[in-house]
Structure 1
Amino acid sequence: MESRGWTDGGGAWEWRRRLLAWEESVSQCTSLLQNVVLQDHIIDRWRWILNPIHGYSVKGTYSYLTASGIYSECGLSVDLWKKQVPLKVFVFVWRLLRNRIPTKDNLLRRRINSLDNTSCTGGCGSSETANHLLIHCVFFGMVWHRIYQWLGISFIVPASASDHLHHFGHPAGIPRSSHSFVTVIWMADVWVISKERNNKIFNQKIDTLDI
């Protein structure tokens, strides 16, 4: 490609047929390659952005994924309030990330619920907290697995909902222009899980969550 010319208008960008509308974004590659210079005498190598000197390590990656405070309040506000979703979903997610939704552990803390009624609505046997219900529950978590498959991503599930939103909404390998899109998917998913949870409690609805 370099020998044919990969700058704008170069021979590397000549095609056998006319590009379809969704293929025309390939022109963005010209800007990515603009400052790339190939050097025959230098061997290619991988570079781990989190640690360019020592390279990749499982320990370093785990520390990054589990670091507390990685999702700042400022970043949280920016990610939430600019999305084109219904206001009630905004409010729900805002309350979720502050542990203010009426899960059974919160109802117990407010003395609305009894100690013998704290099991997860999904029937997994664990205590129902916001992080467990919407992220880690075996039953409701099937929705997340289907979404991971749909998006074609591998995902290490963090402990908290805020960290989950941060990592899910900023996936590696997906253009920045798509980050808003996947964040909306995250918000829609937790909203749907919450609605299904309420249906199971108040309407005795049993759903297999086959999607």
Structure 2
Amino acid sequence: MESNLARWNKRVPKKVNLFVWRLLRNSIPTPINLFGRGTVDVSTVRCNLCNNGIDDTSHVFRDCLFTNTIRRRLSDWIQYSIPDVNPSELVDWYKSLQVTNPKRDMIEAILFVGWWHIWKERNNALHNGKHATLIDTFNSIMSLGSLWMSSRDKKRNYDWNNWLMNPMEIA
């Protein structure tokens, strides 16, 4: 499992890779993690994305209704059925896919961007009281993913229409 935790994807920014590295180690600052370290007195531990469940890594990235809906939309978009599992198990899933390395890297990058946006939306709801719609969040994943990947991968043609229809065809 340790090898899963050290992988970085060149198609996304360093800040996203660092976030995923922390996510896979369960070291992102959820109320449960902060309370467990004794660093913060947590007044509420309710998930700010769905208002149902405990705001911990497992809930936010696997059990949350908001996250599950995003995952289903990503599955439809990339045309691969993303399993309903924890992020570390998703790493095992995409590494086991019988696809070319460029496709695997693309799936990984899209998952990383998705996790980044879910966390960003969770923080926006928690700290600013603002909650984007599922459609807005999914559209942000697609558009920022395209921007980040096209600026970091000059070997491929990231045509916007092709990207929207099936990003795996770009890989």
CA drift of 1:205 comes to: 0.7
Matched residue pairs, number? 135
CA drift of 1:118 comes to: 1.0
1:4-19, aligned counterparts within 5 Å?
A: none
8 Å CA contact 1:81, 1:90 repeated in 2: yes
Taking only aligned residues, the RMSD between alpha carbons, in angstroms, comes to 1.9
Identify which of 60, 73, 76 aligns with 2:2.
73
Match of 1:194 in 2: 119
Distance in 2 of aligned mates of 1:113 and 1:171: 42
* CA 167–199 in structure 1, closer or farther in 2 if over 3 Å, else same: same
Match of 1:66 in 2: none
Q: Which runs of 4+ in 1 moved over 6 A?
A: none
Match of 1:99 in 2: 26
Match of 2:45 in 1: 118
Q: TM-score, normalised by structure 2?
A: 0.70
Larger radius of gyration: 1
8 Å CA contact 2:5, 2:25 repeated in 1: no
8 Å CA contact 1:124, 1:138 repeated in 2: no
CA drift of 1:125 comes to: 1.6
Q: Secondary structure at the match of 2:26?
A: coil
Alignment deviations for residues 64-100 of structure 1 (CA, whole Å, 9 cap, x no partner): xxxxxxxx212442xx225232111111111111111
Match of 2:134 in 1: 209
* CA 183–195 in structure 1, closer or farther in 2 if over 3 Å, else same: same
Which structure ranks higher in relative contact order (CA pairs < 8 Å, sequence separation ≥ 6)?
2
8 Å CA contact 1:121, 1:201 repeated in 2: yes
Unaligned ranges ≥5, structure 1: 1-71
* CA 109–183 in structure 1, closer or farther in 2 if over 3 Å, else same: same
1:1-211, aligned counterparts within 5 Å?
A: 72-77=1-6, 80-111=7-38, 112-114=40-42, 116-158=43-85, 160-172=86-98, 174-210=99-135, 211=138
Q: Secondary structure at the match of 2:134?
A: coil
Distance in 2 of aligned mates of 1:119 and 1:150: 30
Q: Which deviates more from structure 2 when the two are superposed, residues 86-95 or residues 105-114? A: 105-114
8 Å CA contact 2:9, 2:109 repeated in 1: no
Distance in 2 of aligned mates of 1:121 and 1:206: 9
Distance in 2 of aligned mates of 1:103 and 1:120: 10
Distance in 2 of aligned mates of 1:113 and 1:155: 36
8 Å CA contact 2:4, 2:88 repeated in 1: no
- Could you say which structure has the higher helix fraction? 2
Letter in 2 for 1:113: D
CA drift of 1:170 comes to: 4.1
Identity of aligned residues (%): 31
Distance in 1 of aligned mates of 2:106 and 2:79: 15
Q: TM-score, normalised by structure 1?
A: 0.58
